């Protein structure tokens, strides 16, 4: 591909102006998923950037956007050594991260890594995670790093269960274990016998979602996560992120909020992102006082059944966004591997960082 030009975007306003081009590129790429949308990354940056510096690399051919690397630069430490780390705009909220590439992905990715190799004095470590095993970012990393003259190592990262929404609900349940079906029946009986009415509400409009945010913060503050300091109300950045997602992604119809009520009291919720036929629950909490009812598990059961029973079948995959938890693996045998990769430049200091990284025993490639 002749005429490829890489431009570094370091300013938020310039990043925000890429919205339309970014969306067009994403839709024609092989990575058209919600965690790589401009909308998601814009909300993420506004909430979590902190002291990070933006480094979004844009690759153009004759003015047309053909590649994007949504990166940030952080000053961090590795075994007490100061390290200038370049990484994706991601944290624990991100089920995946990656490069957005037009066809001829390996060549375009090579240009991105070649650009980074050309400014190696400004970084020590390039950390790339979580890379889906079926994504171009992972498949072409070896060739691209080789063409840029960079060394790299990697190891397995997340193992994310997912549920293909295929067939009908009775058939799906018949394929589950006898023990799971037995537990589900007992749970349904407890719900039916409860003196107060247990109901599930699906919230989809922007106004309703925004009005429900105080309820989910309240549920989160009464969950087990409050004991760990990870309730939504404990983390202002987290609360702000959900507000921005609800406003920005909700306006596109990409947000589903599922609420479980006991009487009029909210006791559990799942916050989903729906994009291109995939639903991703990015946050779920339940009130510990109602743990005997297993409200979170019941809510998940109701959501899954509704996806299978939907006559329009608008969702083809339930992406758990979890790291292979046992309770998720009861529902599915499908697991999508993710990887974490470290890329190093040719400077002596980066080679030292490479050796320190190897002490963590990554899976070498």
Is residue 122 located within the same domain as residue 51?
yes
In a domain, 73, yes or no: yes
Helices in the chain by DSSP H: which ranges? Answer: 12-16, 19-28, 38-48, 105-118, 136-139, 141-148, 169-174, 178-193, 206-221, 236-251, 295-309, 326-329, 348-358
Q: Are 62 and 153 members of one domain? A: yes
Do 199 and 71 sit in the same domain of this protein? no
Same domain, 144 and 213: no
Within a domain: residue 274? Answer: yes
Residue 298 lies in a domain: yes
Count of domains forming the chain: 2
pLDDT at 362: 46
Helix, strand, coil % in the chain, rounded to nearest 5? 45, 30, 25
179 and 102 in a common domain: no
**Is residue 242 in a domain?**
yes
Cβ-in-10-Å burial (0-12, 13-18, 19+) of 114 comes to middle
pLDDT of residue 357: 75
Query: Residue 287 — φ and ψ, nearest 5°?
Result: -75, 120
Q: What is the pLDDT of residue 363?
A: 44
323 domain residue, yes or no: no
- Residue 82 is assigned to a structural domain of this protein: yes
Of 72, 54, 76, 58, nearest in space to 18 by CA: 58
Closest by CA to 310, choosing from 343, 280, 277, 342, is: 277
Domain assignment present for 322? no
Identify the pLDDT of residue 252.
97
Give the torsion sign (CA, 212, 224, 240, 269).
Answer: negative
Domain containing 204 equals: 166-315
Tell me if the bond preceding 134 is cis, omega within 30° of 0.
no
pLDDT score, position 81: 86
Same domain? For 28 and 120 the reply is: yes
Tell me, yes or no, whether 111 and 186 share the same domain.
Answer: no
Tens digit of each residue's pLDDT (9 = 90 or more) over 186-201: 999 999 999 999 999 9
Q: Which two tokens stand for residue 364?
A: 């070498």
pLDDT tens by residue, 11-20: 999 999 999 9
Secondary structure class of 1 (helix, strand, coil): coil
Enumerate residue ranges in the chain where pLDDT < 50: 362-365
Numbers of helices and strands, H then E, in the chain: 13, 13
User: Quick one: 183 and 152 in the same domain?
Assistant: no
Are 106 and 199 found together in one domain?
A: no
308 is a domain residue: yes
**CB under 8 A, 24+ apart: contacts of 82-86:** 83/124, 83/125, 83/353, 84/122, 84/123, 84/124, 84/125, 85/123, 85/124, 85/125, 85/126, 85/127, 86/55, 86/116, 86/123, 86/125, 86/126, 86/127
- Residue where the block lists tokens 């990697």: 154
Q: Mark whether 291 and 352 lie in a shared domain.
A: no
Q: Domain of 170: which CATH number?
A: 3.40.630.30
Is there a single domain that holds both residue 215 and residue 305? Answer: yes
Residues 91, 17: one domain? Answer: yes
């Amino acid at each position: 591909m002749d005429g490829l030009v890489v431009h570094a975007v370091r300013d938020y306003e310039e990043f925000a102006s890429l919205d339309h081009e970014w969306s067009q590129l994403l839709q024609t790429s092989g990575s058209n998923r919600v965690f790589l949308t401009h909308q998601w990354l814009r909300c993420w940056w506004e909430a979590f950037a902190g002291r990070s510096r933006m480094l979004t690399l844009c690759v153009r051919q004759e003015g047309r956007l053909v590649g994007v690397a949504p990166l940030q630069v952080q000053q961090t430490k590795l075994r007490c050594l100061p390290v200038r780390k370049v990484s994706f705009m991601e944290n624990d909220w991100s089920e995946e991260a990656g490069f957005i590439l037009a066809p001829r992905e390996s060549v375009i990715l090579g240009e991105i890594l070649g650009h980074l190799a050309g400014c190696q004095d400004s970084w020590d470590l390039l950390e790339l995670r979580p890379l889906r095993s079926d994504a171009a970012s992972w498949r072409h990393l070896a060739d691209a790093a080789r063409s840029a003259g960079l060394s790299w190592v990697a190891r397995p990262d997340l193992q994310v269960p997912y549920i293909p929404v295929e067939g009908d609900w009775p058939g799906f349940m018949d394929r589950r274990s006898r023990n799971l079906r037995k537990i589900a029946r007992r749970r349904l009986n407890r719900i039916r016998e409860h003196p107060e009415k247990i109901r599930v509400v699906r919230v989809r409009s922007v106004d309703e979602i925004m009005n429900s945010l105080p309820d989910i913060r309240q549920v989160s503050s009464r969950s087990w996560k409050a004991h760990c300091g990870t309730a939504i109300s404990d983390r202002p950045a987290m609360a702000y992120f959900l507000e921005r997602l609800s406003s920005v992604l909700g306006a596109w119809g990409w947000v589903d909020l599922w609420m479980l009520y006991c009487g009029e009291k909210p006791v559990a919720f799942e916050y989903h992102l729906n994009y291109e036929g995939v639903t991703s629950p990015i946050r779920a909490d339940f009130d510990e006082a109602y743990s005997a009812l297993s409200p979170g598990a019941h809510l998940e059961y109701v959501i899954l059944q509704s996806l299978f029973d939907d006559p329009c079948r608008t969702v083809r995959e339930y992406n758990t966004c979890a790291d292979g938890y046992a309770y998720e693996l009861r529902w599915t045998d499908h697991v999508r591997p993710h990887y974490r990769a470290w890329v190093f430049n040719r400077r002596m200091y980066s080679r030292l960082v490479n050796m320190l990284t190897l002490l963590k025993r990554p899976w070498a490639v």
